[in-house]
Chains A and B, each alone.
Chain A
Amino acid sequence: DTEVTQTPKHLVMGMTNKKSLKCEQHMGHRAMYWYKQKAKKPPELMFVYSYEKLSINESVPSRFSPECPNSSLLNLHLHALQPEDSALYLCASSLRFGQGVLDTQYFGPGTRLTVL
């Protein structure tokens, strides 16, 4: 089973709302990722968690707040977003992350976010 699940599938929110995106995997992977993908562009890395600790933050604005409550779950808390933040948000996981590691990342189906 190489399944990464994401909820919700679609989300529409206003600029003053607070919402959260959820990601889950049960493959025993210890690395989890958030990516943002705009239309007709490749996915862009936002955050990486390794063993529930934040390893990489790609200079993402603070209105995006990641959280990894346990090894199977990854959340992305959203607050005061802008219309230009509308995109497909993808979660991924891999067995490990770190120096000397070349593990395949498996992606979830994404959450289509629209900010009005």
Chain B
Amino acid sequence: DQQVKQNSPSLSVQEGRISILNCDYTNSMFDYFLWYKKYPAEGPTFLISISSIKDKNEDGRFTVFLNKSAKHLSLHIVPSQPGDSAVYFCAAIIQGAQKLVFGQGTRLTINP
């Protein structure tokens, strides 16, 4: 049972435009959501997180939006840069279960 889903395996965006990566979840008990970025042959790098009590968190070019009623979160990157090309994982955690659950990842390619 995939509790965190990233339905788009890949996304291509032109440099300078906005990249929007989506993530859906099924478990309403998730308390905290994170986005990680992963380059090939490297470990995931933490990007940004959001608590379930908020609907938006911004850090520089990265903004995460949370829609609890729709069980949906998204990561906006603007403007997109070539160095943003990577696989992006959405992850969620339930305070009680103490376990990070990852989505399948979305490969973002930024085209010049």
Rounded to whole Å, the gap between the CB of A104 and the closest CB of chain B is: 6
Q: Which of B34, B100, B104 contacts A45 (CB 8 A)?
A: B100
A42 touches B51 (CB 8 A): no
B103 touches A99 (CB 8 A): no
A interface residue count range (under 10 / 10 to 19 / 20 to 34 / 35 or more): 20 to 34
A42 touches B89 (CB 8 A): yes
A104 touches B34 (CB 8 A): yes
Interface of A is mostly: loop
Q: Which of B42, B98, B104 contacts A101 (CB 8 A)?
A: B98
A41 touches B104 (CB 8 A): yes
B99 touches A45 (CB 8 A): yes
Interface positions of B (Cβ within 8 A of A): 31-32, 34, 36, 41-46, 49, 51, 89, 93, 95-96, 98-100, 102-105
5 A-B pairs closest in CB distance: A42-B102, A107-B43, A102-B32, A107-B44, A109-B43
